[in-house]
Amino acid sequence: MNFVFRNGVLKYVAANYFRSQCTATKLNAPSNRIVHTSSTSYDLMEFFDDKKNWNETNIKVGRAWKLDELRIKSNTDLHKLWYVLLKERNMLYTMEHECKEKVRLFPNPERIDKVQESMKNIETVVRERNIAYYQLETGETGERPVEEVVNLFGLPEKYEKSEYMVPKFMNTKWVKPYLEHGLINSIAVKKFYRLYKEKLHNESRKARNRDYNHVQQLLKRFPDMDLEKLREQYPNVDIEKAMRTKKARGHYFPKY
């Protein structure tokens, strides 16, 4: 059988399909082809739940797939399970939207969370296998490289590198805002970054003060407590300084 192109149209040419050597026995022989059947198709009804669950308020469902269970499955099984979960997620989204339209309670909304957790675990397992394969073959992870950059607000963030048609210095969309106009080094960005650092400093200072006051109350209520354990739990608090305060001593005289 040959396939040829003529005038832009793919034409099928059967050459020597029935040969002169074929006998009547070969022509009348039964075919040994295995019969394949497909699953039943319900058209758009596959986007909806089973009709017996439409009027139910509580539907019994299982838990999400765990990582340990997915790691022992083959890539083919993971591929099949992914599309099963994808169809289930689409069905649940459709039923949730329909319940909102009908002003009815969507039964067991945690089913969506379980499906999303299962799909996330499948992605984790597939990524683990891809990383292991690339490390074995090339010595690298195969993941997209990540670089620490500064965004328009002057804050550091992680940027996943990607391929572009033009180099960085020829990319006008990047050169103009970052280099020519200097948005990163502008006065507004510097003011924002200064206020942002001040906010972070105030939050850390208030957290230290809360821990310091809490340690004082603990020393007041439990004067014979283990100080080593207290230092391990609150490493940022000066325990000796907290013990010398009046709030920590309470109504007893210190032993030192």
Evaluate whether residue 36 is within a structural domain: no
Average pLDDT, the chain: 79
Q: Quote the pLDDT of residue 53.
A: 74
pLDDT (mean) for 100-120: 90
Structure tokens at 161: 């590198």
Q: Which domain holds residue 196?
A: 186-249
Structure tokens at 188: 């507004």
6/89 same-domain check: yes
| Structure confidence by residue, pLDDT tens digits, 215-246 | 999 988 888 888 899 999 999 899 999 888 88
Query: Among residues 39, 121, 122, 48, which one has the least CA distance to residue 88?
Result: 48
pTM to 2 decimal places = 0.53
24/112 same-domain check: yes
129/238 same-domain check: no
| Structure confidence by residue, pLDDT tens digits, 180-218 | 555 666 788 888 889 999 999 999 999 999 999 999 999
Give the Cα separation of 209 and 252 in Å (integer): 24
Tell me how many domains the chain contains: 2
| Structure confidence by residue, pLDDT tens digits, 10-22 | 333 333 433 444 4
Evaluate whether residue 113 is within a structural domain: yes
Give the Cα separation of 159 and 184 in Å (integer): 16
**How many degrees, rounded to 5, is the angle at CA 121 between CA 119 and CA 126?**
95
129/15 same-domain check: yes
- CB of 245 within 8 A of CB of 216? yes
Among 105, 137, 169, identify where a domain stops. 137
pLDDT (mean) for 249-256: 59
pLDDT value at 4 more than 70:
no
Among 137, 167, 199, identify where a domain stops. 137
9/124 same-domain check: yes
